[in-house]
Amino acid sequence: MVLTEEPRIPKRSSLQRILIEGRERWDQPGYDPDCSLRFLRAVQCKTPELGRRVYNSINEETVFCNTCKSPACTSCGHWSTIQWQRERWCALPEGPYRVITLTMPNTLWPLFASNPRLCRKLAEIAARVIVGYARVRRGVEVGVIPILHTFNGKLEFNSHVHALVTGRDLQRENGACIFLDRDQLMRSWKRLVIALLRAVLQGTCIDSKMSHDEIERLLQREEIRHWKVHVQAFDGKEHFLRYAGRYVRRPPIAERRIISISNGFVRFWYKDKRLGRRQTVTLTIEDFIDRWAQHIPKRYRHVMRYFGLFGPRRWNQVVETAFLLVREKRRRRPKRLPWALSVQRLSGRNPLLDSKRVRMTFVRHLPPIAA
Domain assignment present for residue 258? The answer is no
Burial 174-203 (b: 16+ CB within 10 A, else e): ebeebebeeeebbebbbebbbebbeebbee
Whether 238 and 144 share a structural domain:
yes
Task: Indicate the number of domains in the chain.
Answer: 2
Residues 177 and 199 in one domain: yes
Given a cut of 70, is residue 2 above it in pLDDT?
Answer: no
| Across 173-188, average pLDDT | 85
Is it the case that residue 5 has pLDDT exceeding 70? no
- Flag whether 138 is in a domain: yes
Same domain for 54 and 87?
Answer: no
Confidence at residue 10, expressed as pLDDT on a 0 to 100 scale = 64
* Per-residue model confidence as pLDDT tens digits over 110-165: 999 998 889 999 999 999 999 999 989 888 889 999 999 999 999 999 999 999 99
The verdict on residue 263 lying in a domain is no
Q: What is the mean pLDDT of residues 322-344?
A: 84
In percent, how much of the chain has pLDDT > 70?
A: 96
* Residue 175's pLDDT band (cuts 50, 70, 90): low
Q: Do 50 and 189 fall within a single domain?
A: no
Predicted pLDDT at 159: 93
pLDDT value, residue 1: 39
Residues 17 and 108 in one domain: no
Mean pLDDT for 82-101 is 89
pLDDT digits (tens, 9 = 90+) for 105-116: 999 999 999 988
Q: Is residue 284 part of a domain?
A: no
What's the average model confidence in pLDDT over 12-32? 93
Query: With contact defined as beta carbons under 8 Å apart, do 146 and 162 qualify?
Result: yes
**Does any domain span residue 143?**
yes
- For residue 361, report the phi and psi dihedrals to the nearest 5 degrees: -125, 155
Please say if the pLDDT value at position 15 is more than 90.
yes
If asked whether residues 122 and 197 sit together in one domain, one would say: yes
Whole-number percent of the chain with pLDDT over 90 = 48
Average pLDDT along the chain: 88
If pLDDT is split at 50, 70 and 90, which confidence band does 269 have? very high
Let me know if residue 199 belongs to a domain: yes
Domain ranges, residue 180:
74-252+297-325
Is 339 in the same domain as 320?
A: no
Are 209 and 225 members of one domain? yes
Same domain, 95 and 167: yes
31, part of any domain: yes
Residue 260 in domain: no
Domain match, 81 and 38 both? no
Answer yes or no: do 183 and 194 share one domain: yes
Verdict on whether the full-model pTM lies above 0.85: yes
Distance CA 221, CA 272 (A): 27
Residue 14 has pLDDT above 70, yes or no: yes
Q: Are residues 110 and 170 in the same domain?
A: yes
> In this model, does residue 18 exceed pLDDT 90?
yes
- What pLDDT, in 10s, does the model give residues 184-227? 999 999 999 999 999 888 876 788 888 888 999 999 999 999 99
Confidence of residue 3 (pLDDT cuts 50, 70, 90): very low
**pLDDT grade, residue 42 (50/70/90)?**
very high
Annotate the chain with three-state secondary structure: CCEEECCCCCCCCHHHHHHHHCHHHHCCCCCCHHHHHHHHHHHHCCCHHHCEEEEECCCEEEEEECCCCCCCCHHHHHHHHHHHHHHHHHHCCCCCEEEEEECCCHHHHHHHHCCHHHHCCHHHHHHHHHHHHHHHHHCCCCEEEEEEEEECCCCCEEEEEEEEEECECCCCCCCCECCCCHHHHHHHHHHHHHHHHHHHHHHCCCCCCCCHHHHHHHHHHHCCCCCCEEEEEECCHHHHHHHHHHHHCCCCCCHHHEEEEECCEEEEEEEECCCCEEEEEEEEHHHHHHHHHCCCCCCCCCCECCEECCCHHHHHHHHHHHHHHCCCCCCCCCCCCCHHHHHHHHHCCCCCECCCCCECEEEEEECCCCC
